[in-house]
Amino acid sequence: MPPSSPRRIAVLGATGSIGRSTLDVVDSHPGRFKVEALTANSNVEALVALCEKYSPSLACIADPALGAAFERAAKSRCPGMQALAGPEGLVACASHDSVDGVMAAIVGAAGLPATLAAAAAGKTVYLANKEALVMSGAILMDTVRRSGAALLPIDSEHNAIFQCLPQNSSGLEPGGTLADKGVRRLLLTASGGPFRTRKRADLASVTPDQACAHPNWVMGRKISVDSATMMNKGLEIIEAHWLFGAAREQVDVVIHPQSVIHSMVEYADGSVIAQLGNPDMRTPIAHALAYPERIESGVQRLNLATFAGLTFEEPDLQRFPALALAYAALEAGGTAPISLNAANEVAVAAFLGGGLPFLAITDVIGGVLERAAAERVEGLDHVLEADRRARALARELMPLARELMQESRACI
């Protein structure tokens, strides 16, 4: 039974891969959801077209330089809509009174202020923007706890774990550790990305398009590169720590190339509960948007008979050092995950822009983690300061990482 009044949602990052999948689920359920706010970064035309279709109360283009163009287009094509620009506009969309739930689907650290604003305003936060949680885990979880907001994971692995855990097992509930609930460990599955079977030496000259050609998932370019380096799984280890109150030794990664099992929970009695489905983000999105009800997502039914087998492998930390770096950052705690995330964003952007070889991405991150001391996080300003410092350090280290890579290639 659909609810009597529609659930009013804001979609932050509406023009992206998660944003569009969210709107696709919304389209399949006329009357169940009302899109109240939409945001994008620079894609003015796509944002205006979405505003024409969904008639939100407000919308924001994040790049302030495009504010005037957006306002002009919105005035003629979406009369009555509030057209905003810049980071404050994102915060306004995330915390507006007319919004019940916020799809946090901006990519990277840029999504942090709006995600935090949604949590502080007591909204139901559908969290895709894992970088926000990696950067400010304690602050975000504390904000959700204090405001009475809800936090539902969109990342397919965390959504799967959420479904496999006993009810009320998120890191938000006071008292009661995972062990108290009989949980031994969380098993994050990873496809292994497009380079799973390649030798490390063969990765020296891979191109951005090759790195973004994920075998199972269609995603934005930043997360696609993260999947290729396996830093995506690294960020997810830290995400699982915060979302479920899991200690470092309670989160393991297993390579599962078919991406059918989205993650698993192992219990003290030896039971392992898994969540399966076709690799399509509309499943976790529909699960979260309608929670605790179940609705159609538009995803094809899983036909296990079409798979020759479901296979599993240990991750290779030598070929994919990103996982070891993420575990190290989680163990170091404090500002270390902020440095990890910031260095990764800078290095991935440089790789995508043709300015850094693929293998140098993790070298830069490792270099930043070595040099940036892990400090106790004192608040949001400190998070942003640590983020700025790690970005500067990453930029400083990139020429050296490039040089070392060229020298080692000359030796091969």
Return the sign of the alpha-carbon dihedral for residues 102, 103, 104, 107: negative
Size, binding site for ligand NDP by CB under 6 A: 27
Residue ranges in 280-299 that form contacts with ligand NDP under rule CB under 6 A:
281
Rounded CA Rg of the chain: 21
Q: For 198-306, where are the alpha helices, taking DSSP H only?
A: 208-212, 221-229, 231-244, 282-290
Contacts (CB under 6 A) with ligand NDP, residues 227-266 = none
| Letter string b/e over residues 13-27, b meaning 16 or more CB atoms within 10 A of that residue's CB | bbbbbbbbbbbbbbe
Least distance to ligand NDP, CB of residue 208, Å: 13
At 74, list the tokens: 């919105």
The single residue among 7, 9, 19, 342 that binds ligand NDP, judged by CB under 6 A, is 19
- CB nearer to ligand NDP: pick between 227 and 339: 227
State which H helix or E strand residue 340 sits in: helix 336-352
Q: Which residue has the tokens 């108290």?
A: 180
Of residues 283 and 367, the one with the C-beta less far from ligand NDP: 283
- Region binding ligand NDP by CB under 6 A among candidate stretches 67-75, 126-134, 298-306, 394-402: 126-134
Cβ distance to ligand NDP smaller for residue 158 or 405: 158
d(CA 157, CA 284): 9
Answer yes or no whether residue 122 interacts with ligand NDP by CB under 6 A: no
Alpha helices (H) along 153-281: 156-164, 208-212, 221-229, 231-244
Contact set for ligand NDP, span 298-327 (CB under 6 A): none
Name residue 146's beta-bridge partners. none
Q: Which stretch binds ligand NDP (CB under 6 A): 49-57, 128-136, 313-321, 351-359?
A: 128-136
Q: How far is the CB of 191 from ligand NDP (least distance, A)?
A: 12
Determine, following the binding rule CB under 6 A, whether residue 41 of this chain makes contact with ligand NDP: yes
In terms of CB distance, is 45 or 396 closer to ligand NDP? 45
- Which lies closer to ligand NDP via its Cβ, residue 329 or residue 401? 329
- What is the Cα–Cα distance from 39 to 83, expressed in whole angstroms? 10
By the rule CB under 6 A, 17 interacts with ligand NDP: yes
Kind of pairing, strands 183-190 and 251-255? parallel
Q: Compose the 101-120 pattern: x for residues touching ligand NDP by CB under 6 A, - for all others.
A: ----xxx--x----------
For tokens 């989680």, the residue is 330
Per CB under 6 A, does 13 bind ligand NDP?
Answer: yes
Question: Which residue of 16, 101, 192, 321 would you call a contact of ligand NDP, by CB under 6 A?
Answer: 16
Contact predicate 385/339, CB 8 Å: no
Question: 221 with 312: CB under 8 angstroms?
Answer: no
* Nearer Cβ to ligand NDP (7/130): 130
Query: Helix 336-352 to helix 322-332 angle, to the nearest 10 degrees?
Result: 150
* Torsion sign, CA atoms 192, 195, 197, 201: negative
Best CA proximity match to 3, nearest among 293, 282, 283: 293
From candidates 51, 133, 155, 169, binder to ligand NDP by CB under 6 A: 155
| 207 contacts ligand NDP (rule: CB under 6 A) | no
Q: For ligand NDP, which is the closer residue by CB, 13 or 315?
A: 13
- Residue 175 structure tokens: 């008292």
| Binding residue for ligand NDP, selected from 86, 122, 208, 220, defined by CB under 6 A | 220
Binding mask 65-104 for ligand NDP (x = CB under 6 A): ----------------------------------------
> Which lies closer to ligand NDP via its Cβ, residue 50 or residue 390?
50
Contact 283, 276 (CB under 8 A): no
CB-based closest residue to ligand NDP: 16
* Options 27-35, 204-212, 218-226, 349-357: segment touching ligand NDP (CB under 6 A): 218-226
Q: Is 407 exposed, middle or buried (0-12, 13-18, 19+ CB in 10 A)?
A: exposed
Question: Could you give the 3-state DSSP secondary structure of residue 156?
Answer: helix
Tokens for 189, please give them.
Answer: 């599955």
Least Å from the CB of residue 178 to ligand NDP: 22
- Compare residues 105 and 323 and give the one whose CB is closer to ligand NDP: 105
Across the chain, how many H-helices and E-strands are there?
Answer: 15, 11
Secondary structure string (H, E, C) spanning 219-232: CCHHHHHHHHHCHH
Contact between 345 and ligand NDP (CB under 6 A)? no
Residues at the interface with ligand NDP (CB under 6 A): 13-19, 40-43, 62, 105-107, 110, 128-131, 155, 217, 219-220, 222-223, 281
